Amino acid sequence: MTLRKITSLTLLLAFALLILTSLILYVVPEGRVAYWSDWRRLGLSKTQWGDIHTNSGFLFLLAGLLHLVYNWKLIVSYLKNRAKQVQLLTPAMVVALLINLVVVAGTLFQLPPFQSILDFGHFFKEAAAVKYGEPPYGHAELSPLHLFAKRTGLDLASIQASLANAGIHVIGREQTILAIARANGLTPKAVFEAMQGTATNQTPSLPLPDQPQAGLGRMTLAQLCSQHGLDQHQVLATLARRGISADPRQSLKEIAAAGGTDPHSLYELIHEAVRTP
């Protein structure tokens, strides 16, 4: 057993681990969705997969540098021309450089098949958002119960009663949604659904917050109005006065793009329509 053999085998295994973690992270839901649904693969969370990927990358880098040292003579031989002189831009090096430049340029200019690869990954992430659901706001799972109630417009006493009726034990108002979920073997999403079990009888829809929620662009205008109890006709009229034509079945991203704006600016217009009688 030599250090050279160990280096080569370490490099091989680190490469295999990078492939595995890269594939997992390629299809993993967006962070807000993964944390809200407590997403896991092979028992590991998104954060754990990301940590393994990062440290495996450093291991691959270190092993690669050692491998480079051990095989320096061979690599130099690849850079020699027919006269046995070292030449940086050998035909093989030029081809290798062009391949890398094509990948970088194709990615930056959103050309196929490079953009198709990225779009395919976005497809998985959007499908996961539909399957697992979006949190009411970013990192909602880390909020204490009383702050979560305030930010979602739910009555604290009502949601505590809802959780008790669902058999979910809560230590106190300072306990985070994530802590409540893990203590009861649930996901934050399931805890939120339990809260709405009876609380929604009192509060049929969540008030429209001042700041847009995560994943806003993917929501249709109809979904936004339904979720927050908005007058759809009032919202459409407000957008029309600003020269923005909208179909309730369109996503906010689509409406914003057609109106020459962005989803957040569109949200501000809708929020203004709600505040203005």
Note the pLDDT tens digit of each residue in 16-25.
Answer: 999 999 999 9
For the domain spanning 216-275, the CATH number is 1.10.8
pLDDT at 212 over 90: no
pLDDT at 224 over 50: yes
Structure tokens at 195: 């809260």
pLDDT at 7 over 80: yes
- pTM exceeding the 0.75 threshold for the entire prediction: no
Give the residue among 102, 126, 96, 131 at the shortest CA–CA distance from 114: 102
Percentage, residues of the chain above pLDDT 70: 91
Q: When comparing pLDDT for 232 and 142, which is higher?
A: 142
Q: What is the mean pLDDT of residues 29-57?
A: 91
CATH 1.10.8 residue ranges of the chain are 216-275
* pLDDT single digits (tens) 70-91: 888 888 887 777 767 777 777 8
What is the predicted pLDDT for the residue at 199? 45
* pLDDT single digits (tens) 86-111: 777 778 888 989 999 999 999 999 89
